[in-house]
Amino acid sequence: MTEFKFDLKTTDGMARRGEVTTAHGVIQTPVFMPVGTAATVKAMTVDDVWATGAMIILANTYHLMLRPGPERVERLGGVRKMMGWNGPLLTDSGGFQVMSLGDLRDIDVDGVTFRSHLDGSKHRLTPERSTDIQRMLDATITMAFDECTPFPAEKDVAASSMRMSMRWAKRCREAFVHRPGYGQFGIVQGSIYPDLRAESVAALEALDFEGYAVGGLAVGEGQAAMFETLEVTTPLMRADKPRYLMGVGKPADIIGGIARGIDMFDCAMPTRSGRTGQAFTRRGSVNIKNARHADDPRPLDAECSCPACTTYSRAYLHHLFKAEEVLGLMLLSRHNITYYQDLTRGARDAIAEGQFDAYQQDFHDRYNSGDIEPI
């Protein structure tokens, strides 16, 4: 039987090189996890996702409970079997999506009642129900159900929100069905207040989760405040468990998160940006729809191994978006996920070699240098 475990291989400053062993495969960290909200990474086949070097993907409890429904997914063998993904799967708890519904939801001490954004039907999520849905989805990693504290929030509001999430975390832990190679992560809350973050870490560690996430960031506080919060939070977190920064983010956010002791990241930005014509490259972001690319024979990123860069020119990619061809969305989505995988792979190698500071500096120098106009 495979035990869910985290092996910390080496450190370089606060940056960590590790390995997560799960029932569905081994994850090398730092790692970026592509988002497959509705059991698909948008505009990509499973083979495409594997080809980028991805080792774990996400699915969304809220969306899958509404459509096609957790009972149906369970009958089909879980998300992984249903979509043909053979690697580890992490599911978020649905808390962030439910909290984003505004007037369509009503929160109380026991859980949240909400109306579907699809058809207005009424639903209820509690810590126990969220945990059980994730079991039905066959999530390798289950996330605790929490309230994502909005930003900005006065300290008393953030404290009340965090403490309710900690009570819910205890209920999630009690509801979690332990299986070999499966894990559950608690989520640290507390907004930008260091003492609240410390209180949250202590409450979660008493529950002995298999891993711990930092939630409630990348919600409008800005990069500086996010980094400051990480700097006071990650040193308090256990070194022998994986650390996951939820919903982050831009390439510079990921590099900065790694530098502050984070192991796992996810964000819908690479595929969402790819579908709108924005590509991430080693020299910064590129809007392929701009007219300057119309006659450009160069690859999008000469150092990238994805099909968009090895087979096609910027001019062709520009044409695909102007012609509204689906292939353009597919190519840039795959390119962006490849870029993010290359970014974290490079960080893993640099940490192992004790060269992360140099890697981080080189990233910033190149990324901020800007894309070069064709001659």
Contact indicator for 234, 198 with CB cutoff of 8 Å: no
- Tokens at residue 298, please? 């160069």
Q: At what angle do helices 223-233 and 194-205 cross, to 10 degrees?
A: 50
Contact indicator for 32, 341 with CB cutoff of 8 Å: yes
Angle at 30 between CA 182 and CA 55, to 5 degrees: 55
Give 212's strand partners. Answer: 186, 243
Buried/exposed 171-207: b ≥16 CB within 10 Å, e otherwise: bbbebbeeeebbbbbbbbbbbbbeebbbbbbebbbeb
Beta strands in 35-88 (DSSP E): 57-60
- Tokens at residue 101, please? 């519904």
Contact indicator for 56, 375 with CB cutoff of 8 Å: no
Nearest-angstrom CA–CA distance, 281 and 251: 10
- Tokens at residue 4, please? 């869910």
Contact indicator for 243, 213 with CB cutoff of 8 Å: yes
Give 33's strand partners. Answer: 266
- Give the CB-side neighbour count of residue 143, counting CA atoms within 13 A: 27
Nearest-angstrom CA–CA distance, 257 and 32: 11
Nearest-angstrom CA–CA distance, 140 and 264: 14
Contact indicator for 115, 123 with CB cutoff of 8 Å: yes
Q: Which residues are catalytic?
A: 92, 266
Residue with tokens 């520009």, as numbered in its chain: 318
Contact indicator for 340, 254 with CB cutoff of 8 Å: yes
Distances (CA, A) of 192 to 151, 225, 231, 263, 315: 9, 7, 11, 20, 44
Residues 6+ positions from 353 with CB-CB distance below 8 Å: none
Contact indicator for 154, 162 with CB cutoff of 8 Å: no
